[in-house]
Chains A and B, each alone.
Chain A
């Protein structure tokens, strides 16, 4: 009965590779988000989708491309991975402006 789930939980890969992280929510929410938590624990918004439409696209390298196939899913594809992409990536969802619920995070390590 997980509300917001992410796969994989851990991802270890080499520089230059392409990888994807998947997120699913079963809360019936209309908005989904990707946040990045860096090594100093600072959390920052990357993208937000509302009803499959991109509404927030922060200053993120265009190697990062989100995709929302439907309201319940939001995926993040990263091309040409760099060392600085190592972080924990959190997916979240909300209904309108009400409280956001976060997934368990995906710890990405780029070697």
Chain B
């Protein structure tokens, strides 16, 4: 099945800094999503982005399907951005998501 790798595993930022999280995947995808798991454990949908670029406020994401990677950009980070960011993908013919191991982000005031 598809493999999903995320980097970096851990990231510490000062409030106001920008960051880029990376997700590499091993096969063609029909679904790629970014999630934020907050400190209370909720999995929050950030983007459904099997290809192209999307923006939502301070967050944006780009997936280059032909090169099998996706990037999540966080600008002007806030303490509420802290948590774990997961990339998840599914390959053609399979609906279940395979999750990466996550990037743990800590934003310090």
Contacts and interface: CB of A to CB of B under 8 A. Distances in A.
Contact of B99 (A42, A56, A99): A42
Contacts, number: 54
A26 interface: no
A94 B33 CA distance: 12
Interface range, B side: 20 to 34
A45 to B, nearest CB: 4
A43 B33 CA distance: 14
Contacts of A97: 30-31, 90, 95
A44 B1 CA distance: 13
Interface residues of A, number: 26
B97 to A, nearest CB: 6
Interface in B53-109: 84, 86, 88, 90, 94-99, 101-102
A48 interface: yes
Given A45-B97, A96-B95, A97-B31, 18 more contacts: A33-B95, A41-B102, A43-B86, A43-B88, A48-B96, A55-B95, A56-B96, A94-B95, A97-B95, A98-B48, A99-B33, A99-B48, A100-B31, A102-B43, A102-B45, A104-B41, A105-B43, A107-B41
